[in-house]
Structure 1
């Protein structure tokens, strides 16, 4: 397949690379990482002013009218610069889902705010010991609408989010609901993870959801909507992983060409060269399988096997790349004043988010076995 970028896509990527490259200095990353939220609000607003936050959102809410593929190209740049901005949560998890299924003034308000960089969105997909496509969180109808009960884990950007898309299971099937973090019955608990972006546990106890906050009613359409959301979320993570691997490998190659032992750059040693070559092959596999899955999803075509394949490489292949970065750098790799540890931590966080490599192989096997 031809994954060459169009002129418009190239312009988006170059603009994002320029802004993120200028702002994501080591000093700034350390400053933001020391804060409670670990989110660069100023950078987020600058991306919004450059029309990058809303690039993949519909034109009728002020967005650029591009699609999921362009969102992944921008996420790749977020990964390259390990940028502490909520693009994955706001655009891929929340924004595209609300754009597809939302209606009325609430849709306009949330998405227009997201485009302007003023509104953060998110989605709560993961649960303990549960497939994100088959949530254990329950939705019970009552006279005022619905009541949600359950517990979600590893939810991004919760304290800053205006609403969170919450999948829940009712008697008629799975539905998608919009929950405000400050609602009665919602408890938010910060979680400690190896990644550099903040994640939270969301405990729901009798949370009331009115009819206007039902994004997709429980049923077959709700299950299809959840499957699309999980697929986009998964490939979005793969896009971040592709950027993390590419930039981390570039930094490592430059280091190996300058670091000398026995009066020779270590890049000239056969073992080091082979290790970097293997990491380059893995990086290209992560990127190409991501682009393949993103292109199919963007076109509205079936992509179950391609999504599982992309996430396998973003888990298995990216893990090998991450360890190669550390091994080639040696002891300096664990120095928090040196940038490479951030790339390792991001790659390892993505490895397990929404299913690690073994889970993807199992899903891929089930999909292949189900074909006639």
Structure 2
């Protein structure tokens, strides 16, 4: 099946790339440019994924995924919020507490909390938030959700978690695509023993494997996104996309570090940002084994 993006979707992705590469205030400029629209219905699943791939390529520190997902969920329940408003999503593991490392926890004005079989809108002022710094240096936090807030009608925890996971897969695709590009360029220009290191068989094999892994992340992401966009059952496809994003993302991240050698573990080097972003997405997706178990249950 052809998952090629439409011209409008490609233009949206190109606009996103231009903003995150040149703007000093990317979140404000994404809102101003309409990448975060006033009416969430203007963009669908495929458009959001196209934007998130570009944000992953830049490892952009913007709250796009949780904010737009929350805005879309609220719009489904008949509520509208200013697109510039930072909202976040807390996917509770059980009714007694919220998920560890809620993104944008210290900057969000409110949270959509999935707890039990309901979703609640909870104001940040009503929560005791403990700030955290995630693996990639971005801000987050934790809080205990013991009830309260306003129920969000028409949105289920399953709807929320499925689309959040798909968004993470899209972001991971962007991270791994760019990490592979940087690594391939390094292999072409780094010379050892009178030859570019990419000419050595072991390095070439690692890069070839990484290419296959990135292709698998891409294919499974767009397959799952397309089915969701068409309103088709996608439980197995999303679990498959999560598996590849977590498992292949792990391998690509380590390949980038290993091929870069000593510079790969230098926290001041650009490739380290992609390593930590890929690892964070891997951990947040739940790891490859968890996705295989979900996939086997779905089958």
SS at match of 2:121: strand
TM-score, L = length of structure 1 = 0.77
The question of 1:48 aligning with 2:31 is answered yes
SS at match of 2:143: strand
Match of 1:125 in 2: 91
The question of 1:319 aligning with 2:250 is answered yes
Match of 1:28 in 2: none
Once the two structures are superposed, the pairs formed by residues 158-307 of structure 1 within 5 Å of their partners are: 158-169=105-116, 174-183=117-126, 186-205=127-146, 208-209=148-149, 213-216=150-153, 225-307=156-238
The question of 1:152 aligning with 2:135 is answered no
Match of 1:9 in 2: 9
Cα pair distance change 1:165/1:255, threshold 3 Å: same
Q: CA RMSD in A?
A: 1.6
Report the structure number with the largest CA radius of gyration.
1
In the alignment, structure 1 segments of 5+ residues that lack a partner are: 24-39, 59-64, 128-134, 138-149
Residues matched between the structures, number: 299
| Runs of 4+ displaced beyond 6 Å | none
**Counterpart among 67, 84, 96 of residue 90 in structure 1:** 67
1:214 CA displacement: 1.6
SS at match of 2:169: helix
Match of 1:343 in 2: 274
Match of 1:144 in 2: none
- Once residues 185 and 285 of structure 2 are traced to their aligned partners in structure 1, the CA distance between those partners, rounded to angstroms, is 32
Q: Cα deviations across residues 209-255 of structure 1 (Å, max 9, x unaligned)?
A: 3xxx2213xxxx66xx2111111011100000000000011011111
1:168 CA displacement: 2.3
TM-score, L = length of structure 2 = 0.95
- Once residues 313 and 55 of structure 1 are traced to their aligned partners in structure 2, the CA distance between those partners, rounded to angstroms, is 33
Which protein is richer in strand relative to its size? 1
- Once residues 259 and 126 of structure 1 are traced to their aligned partners in structure 2, the CA distance between those partners, rounded to angstroms, is 46
